[in-house]
A and B are shown apart, each in its own frame.
Chain A
Amino acid sequence: MSITATLTVRRGEGGQMTTTSSYEVPYTPGQSVLDGLRYVRAHLDPTVAIRHSCLSANTCKECMIQVDGKVDYACTARLEPREMLLEPLGNKAHLRDLVTEVAPPDERLAHALAARAKAEG
Chain B
Amino acid sequence: MEKGARVSQDLVHFETDVLVIGSGAAGMAAALSAGGAGASVIIADRSLIGRSGATIMAQMTVAVALGSQTPDASEFHLADTLKAGRDLCEPSLSSLVCEEGPQDILKLDEWRVGWARNEDGSIRQAHAPGHDRPRCVYVDFLSTGPAVAKTLRGRVLREKGVTRIGDLYITDLTVTDGVVTGAVGFSMADGRAITIAAGAVVLATGGLTRLYGRNSASANMAGDGFALALRAGAELIDMEFVQFFPIGHLAPRLVGMDPIMWDPFRYKLGGKLLNAEFREFVNDYGNEEEGRYNVTRDRATFAILSEVKAGRGSPAGGAYLSFQHIPEADLRAAFGPVIDRLAANGIDLTQMPIEVAPIAHYHMGGVRVNRAMETTVPGLYAAGEVNGGSNGANRLSGNAITEALVFGRHAGESAARFARGTGRTAGAPQAALDLVTATTGVETENYAGDIEELQKVMADLVGPFRTEAGLTEALARIAAIKARLGALPPGVPGLYDMARLDWFDLRTMLEVAEMVTRSALARKESRGAHQRDDFPLMDPAYVLHHRVRRAGDAIVLDRVPVEGSTLVEVA
On whether the beta carbons of B496 and A95 are closer than 8 Å, the reply is yes
A115: nearest chain-B partner, CB-CB: B163
On whether the beta carbons of B257 and A57 are closer than 8 Å, the reply is yes
Known: A46-B502, A78-B255, A108-B166. A95 touches B219 (CB 8 A): no
Known: A56-B256, A109-B167. A61 touches B498 (CB 8 A): no
Rank and list the top 10 A-B pairs by shortest CB-CB distance, nearest first.
A30-B253, A95-B496, A76-B256, A57-B258, A46-B448, A58-B256, A41-B448, A53-B52, A107-B166, A53-B218
Task: Tell whether A31 is near chain B: CB-to-CB under 8 Å.
Answer: yes
Task: Tell whether B96 is near chain A: CB-to-CB under 8 Å.
Answer: no
Q: Which residues of A contact B256 (CB under 8 A)?
A: 56-58, 73, 75-76
Known: A59-B146, A62-B52, A95-B189. A46 touches B498 (CB 8 A): yes
Q: Which of B155-175 contact A (CB under 8 A)?
A: 163-168
Task: Tell whether A96 is near chain B: CB-to-CB under 8 Å.
Answer: yes
Q: Which of B125-150 contact A (CB under 8 A)?
A: 145-146
- A53 contact from B51, B59, B252, B259, Cβ within 8 A: B51
- A55 contact from B51, B218, B448, B497, Cβ within 8 A: B218
Q: Which of B333-363 contact A (CB under 8 A)?
A: 345-346
Min CB–CB distance B155 → chain A (angstroms): 15
Task: Tell whether B449 is near chain A: CB-to-CB under 8 Å.
Answer: yes
Q: Which of A44-61 contact B (CB under 8 A)?
A: 46-61
A48: nearest chain-B partner, CB-CB: B498
Task: Tell whether A1 is near chain B: CB-to-CB under 8 Å.
Answer: no
A51: nearest chain-B partner, CB-CB: B496
Task: Tell whether A118 is near chain B: CB-to-CB under 8 Å.
Answer: no
Min CB–CB distance B427 → chain A (angstroms): 19
Cα of A41 to Cα of B166 in the assembled complex, Å: 24
In the complex, 27 of the A-B residue pairs with CB atoms within 8 angstroms, ordered by the A residue number, are A16-B3, A30-B253, A38-B448, A42-B449, A43-B449, A46-B502, A48-B498, A52-B219, A53-B52, A53-B219, A56-B256, A56-B258, A57-B218, A57-B256, A58-B255, A59-B56, A60-B218, A62-B47, A73-B256, A76-B255, A96-B495, A104-B48, A104-B49, A104-B166, A106-B164, A112-B164, A116-B14
Q: Which residues of B contact A29 (CB under 8 A)?
A: 252-253
